[in-house]
Amino acid sequence: MWGTILAFEPPHRLVFDWHPGYEPGAPKTEIEVRFTPEGEGTRVELEHRGWERLADRGPEARLSYEEGWAYVFGRLYAEAAATGDGT
């Protein structure tokens, strides 16, 4: 298990805690994804927070995710959205 859903409010937002690859009792960060109608489409905003919970490894983990989220949203999600492929 990589996380637990904390809030699910379709079609506006999803919030979940996040701990991929760590024991279930390990400190978790939190991710909120918001969906807002914008013109003919939808604005998708992702906020990844709670880095302070990771103590000493927080800064390094945050840097890693900054690069990772840029790849996931900047490339993979954009490509899937452009083709209509929701997989």
What are the pLDDT digits (tens) for 19-63?
887 777 789 999 999 999 999 988 989 999 999 999 998 999 899
Mean pLDDT value across residues 54-77:
86
Which of the four pLDDT bands, split at 50, 70 and 90, describes residue 87? low
Mean pLDDT value across residues 74-81:
81
pLDDT at res. 78: 79
Q: Where are the domains of the chain?
A: 3-19+27-83
pLDDT at res. 34: 97
44-53: Cβ within 8 A, 24+ apart:
44/73, 44/77, 46/73, 48/18, 50/17, 53/27, 53/28, 53/29
